Amino acid sequence: MARRYDSSTTTFSPEGRLHQVEYAIEAINNAGTCVGILAKDGIVMASERRITSGLLAPAKVSEKTYQLCKHAACNVAGLTADANILIDQARLRAGRYQYQYQEPIPVEQLVEYVCNYKQFYTQRGGLRPFGVAFLFAGYDEHHGFQLYQSDPSGNYSGWKATVIGANNQAGKSLLKTEYKTGEEAEESIPDLQEALKLAVKVLNKTMDGTTSAAAAEKMELYTMSMEDGECAHNILNKVEAQKVIDAVEAESASAGDS
């Protein structure tokens, strides 16, 4: 019976659900994992690169991380083709805002715009929702560094640390124990280096079975920080990434839970 409502994204099922939208959200849970962590002096985003074939030419610089404007970037989980459309929209919006006000767009406004665009596709007939979830990292003068996640339904939320994609439940539970929140949180918010290591730790858990030998190719590590009053975007190269991965390896070995 429910199948009748599967074909139409815009019709509620008798139980009051939108199946296609739920399936799209479910599809994200099988996509490559992305981790985002808010640090004291910036933001870290780490994502899983899935190597489908040895013959495939590897990405030149980045595969999962896209810069949207001077002060915002995103990580993609889901269909890259769908994501490209949304990223184009986000870049256009950021550019238009800069043109109109000669000021950078507040991060949440940019996120909301992309999410409104996604929402539109869950309500208009004959259209398929975007099979994409994002992690957005950004900086603005109103609220400093910010981290958001969004799903295909067009919902978005702000986070201190979060995981999207495959095994995100396991990743989130690890973050819950490792990332301090609450009263004493201000003191113990990690700096960029600590956040990088935590992100790798989470990816190690979600990408179970990955040996550290090949890990640098399978992880994309990104940091956003402030340098001379400007937002600095940095995708770690193979050597830098391996260094972080080795440091995590060494720590867990010395902790004795290898």
Partner 1 sequence: MDTVVGVCYEGGVVIAADQSNGRSILTYQTNLDKIAKLSSHSMMGVSGPNCDLVNFTQYVAKNINLYELSNDGTKLSTKAQANFARGELATALRKGPFQVNVLLAGYDDKTKGSLYHLDYMGAMQKVKYGAQGYAQYFVSSIFDKDCTENMTEEDAVKIVEKCIKEIHTRFLMSQPNFIIKKVDKDGVKVLSFDADPADT
Alpha-carbon span 182 to 185, nearest angstrom: 5
Handedness of CA 8, 116, 136, 159 (dihedral sign): negative
Taking the least distance from each CB to partner 1, the nearer of 124 and 142 is 142
* Own/partner long-range contacts of 18-23 (Cβ < 8 Å, ≥24 apart): 18/122, 18/153, 20/122, 20/128, 20/129, 21/122, 21/129, 21/152, 21/153
Taking the least distance from each CB to partner 1, the nearer of 53 and 100 is 100
CB of 133 to partner 1, least distance (A): 23
Taking the least distance from each CB to partner 1, the nearer of 106 and 171 is 106
Alpha-carbon span 37 to 49, nearest angstrom: 18
* 61-89 burial: b if 16+ Cβ within 10 Å, else e: ebbbbbbbbebbbbbbbbbbebbeebbeb
Give the binding site for partner 1 (CB under 8 A): 99-103, 106, 109, 141-142
The answer to whether 219 touches 47, Cβ cutoff 8 Å, is yes
CB of 147 to partner 1, least distance (A): 18
Taking the least distance from each CB to partner 1, the nearer of 12 and 120 is 120
CB of 112 to partner 1, least distance (A): 9
In angstroms, what is the C-alpha Rg of the chain?
Answer: 19
CB of 70 to partner 1, least distance (A): 16
Alpha-carbon span 249 to 77, nearest angstrom: 26
* Contacts of 194 by beta carbon, 8 Å cutoff, 6+ apart: 39
Q: At what angle do helices 107-120 and 80-101 cross, to 10 degrees?
A: 130
Pair of tokens at residue 76: 């993609």
CB of 124 to partner 1, least distance (A): 22
Taking the least distance from each CB to partner 1, the nearer of 14 and 99 is 99
CB of 120 to partner 1, least distance (A): 17
Query: Hey, is 112 helix, strand or coil?
Result: helix
CB of 97 to partner 1, least distance (A): 9
Taking the least distance from each CB to partner 1, the nearer of 105 and 245 is 105
Taking the least distance from each CB to partner 1, the nearer of 141 and 186 is 141
